[in-house]
Amino acid sequence: MVTFFVALAILVVGYFVYGSIVERIFKPSDNPTPAIANPDGVDYVPIPAAKAFLIQLLNIAGLGPIFGAISGAMWGPSVYIWIVAGTLFAGAVHDFLAGMLSERNDGASISEVTGKYLGPVMHNVMRVFSVVLLVLVGVVFMVGPAGLLARLTPEWLNVKVWTIIILCYYFLATLLPIDKIIGKVYPLFGILLILMAFGIIIGTIRNSAERPMMEFTFKNLYPGNVDGTGVKPIWPLMFITVACGAISGFHATQSPIVSRCIKSEKEGRRIFYGAMVAEGIIALIWASAAVAFFWNKDGSGTGLSALKAIGGGNSNSVYDMCVALLGKIGGPIALLGVIVCPITSGDTAFRSARMTIFDWFKLDEKNIKVRLGAAVPLLLIGYAISFINYNVVWRYFSWSNQTLAMIVLWAGAVYLATNYENRNRCWIAAVPATFMSAVSITYLMYAPECFNLGAKGASGLTVSYGTGIAAAVVCLALFLLTAYRNPKSSLERQKGIAIGRK
């Protein structure tokens, strides 16, 4: 229990200390934001800071900090250090830069922003990559809550029926102006999400005599590792699995939604950096609760095998934890929060996909017929993908999610190196970008859905590690060569490039 409260304290203090450092480096200006300078009544609508924070939190805090954190708990308390360090030094910096760079480019989608700072080839890659990731996210956040709702309702309301119902809601949220649905209900759901997380941790503390919260250890407790079979290394698997609970490229696709609504750049730290820290706290709560709940419940000496047996973080593990820790009344309330949480990220995933396509082809967001023409095909594709095995979709989402975060961090590093006289500001982004490059490429080499070198045992793991580290070094070298070679001309070139609505 001591570990949990220390980790929680570090996250809170980190927001004020490191968050302030990041803000001072970026230097928010007093220039009018896109919502103030060019409101359009659809996507560009001024929203109060408190409401914008809750919308951002709901946008980013889908199943990632819950399902991902619970799955990460299979490696044991070592997951705490990644949630804390990843949130403060990688995830929150990533979200802040994604939101503020979008805001400084007229609320442009992240594909347009990264294209500006990383070049035309990456521009087109990111356009396709972003839309694919957002559709995958929409599917993950559609099927997951549908499974939970099916467990709470009569048999005829099965997963397929709930999937269609959620899809209909996604259609409305994708199509209508942001203040008609999202702006009205998200703040209430955001409060519910926070209360639900606190309910889970209170329930865990109350049951600590039966299921004590484990203290931190670097030991890999993944089921199978204990008896020497089926080894699952912490790096890169845990770093990819936790996903949104520490850093998430999906957040970069969501930040432009809010960057088009903030009233001042000086709200950026509270909204973007702050929402990620809040998500890190939520992930910490679920991870620590899962370690305590499943480790002690198993009782067979193999540790977290009970969590592995039901597939890690999914609707079954969440349902079991909520009911056992909070009882018949608290359980359904907590489950409601878990259901609302992904739904309110899935709808904005499809909305962001629509916005990315509109920015890509310079379409008029005010024209409802054009919005309809983009929304319907996206939702139909999402519905078709929903029939694929959920665990397969989640694995591809996890890797593409962290890879996108890596790219966005490099774009932020380039911006900081080429738009400020003190180019050393860039290291707040360049260091986590280098680390995430190593994680993403290592996973690409190791994982079964990619090159599957992990199947070759220790030799495959060694090759995966070497390739990932070498790729990270190459990325860092390319960054130093391009961003540091002639920062003055780069700054002048960036000033001459504008991203705006046509």
pLDDT score at 469:
97
Q: Return the SS3 of 447.
A: coil
Contact in structure between 86 and 95 (CB atoms under 8 Å): no
Q: List alpha helices for 153-206, DSSP H.
A: 159-175, 182-206
pLDDT score at 229:
54
| Cα distance between residue 164 and residue 157, in whole Å | 11
| Cα distance between residue 359 and residue 127, in whole Å | 9
| Cα distance between residue 301 and residue 226, in whole Å | 9
How long, in residues, is the chain? 502
| Cα distance between residue 150 and residue 406, in whole Å | 36
With tokens 């400084």, the residue in question is: 104
pLDDT score at 414:
93
| Cα distance between residue 80 and residue 188, in whole Å | 29
User: 128: which residues sit within 8 A by CB, 6+ positions away?
Assistant: none
Give per-residue burial for 311-331: e unless 16+ CB within 10 Å, then b: bbbbbebbbbbbeebbeeebb
**Which DSSP symbol is given to 32?**
P
The pLDDT profile of the chain, 502 residues, written as one tens digit per residue, is 899 999 999 999 999 999 999 999 999 999 999 999 989 888 899 999 999 998 899 888 866 788 889 999 999 999 999 999 999 999 999 999 999 999 999 999 999 999 999 989 889 988 988 888 888 878 877 887 888 788 878 999 998 899 999 989 888 887 888 777 777 777 777 787 788 888 899 999 999 888 888 898 888 989 876 555 567 899 999 999 898 899 999 899 989 999 999 999 999 999 999 999 999 999 999 999 999 999 865 555 457 888 888 888 877 888 889 888 988 777 777 777 777 777 877 888 888 888 899 999 988 878 888 888 888 898 899 888 878 776 667 667 778 889 999 999 999 999 999 888 788 889 999 999 999 999 999 999 998 878 889 888 889 999 999 999 999 999 999 999 887 775 444 444 444 444 545 4
The CATH code that applies to domain 2-399 is 1.20.1740.10
Contact in structure between 236 and 468 (CB atoms under 8 Å): yes
pLDDT score at 367:
84
Find, among 436, 345, 374, the residue nearest to 137 by Cα: 345
Question: Virtual CA dihedral for 479, 485, 490, 491, nearest 10 degrees?
Answer: 100
pLDDT score at 298:
52
Angle between helices 2-26 and 427-446 (to 10 degrees): 120
What is the token pair recorded at 246?
């520490």
pLDDT score at 493:
44
**Which DSSP symbol is given to 179?**
T
pLDDT score at 230:
62
pLDDT score at 61:
81
**Which DSSP symbol is given to 91?**
I
The 3-state secondary structure of 342-368, one letter per residue: HHHHHHHHHHHHHHHHHHHHCCCCCCH
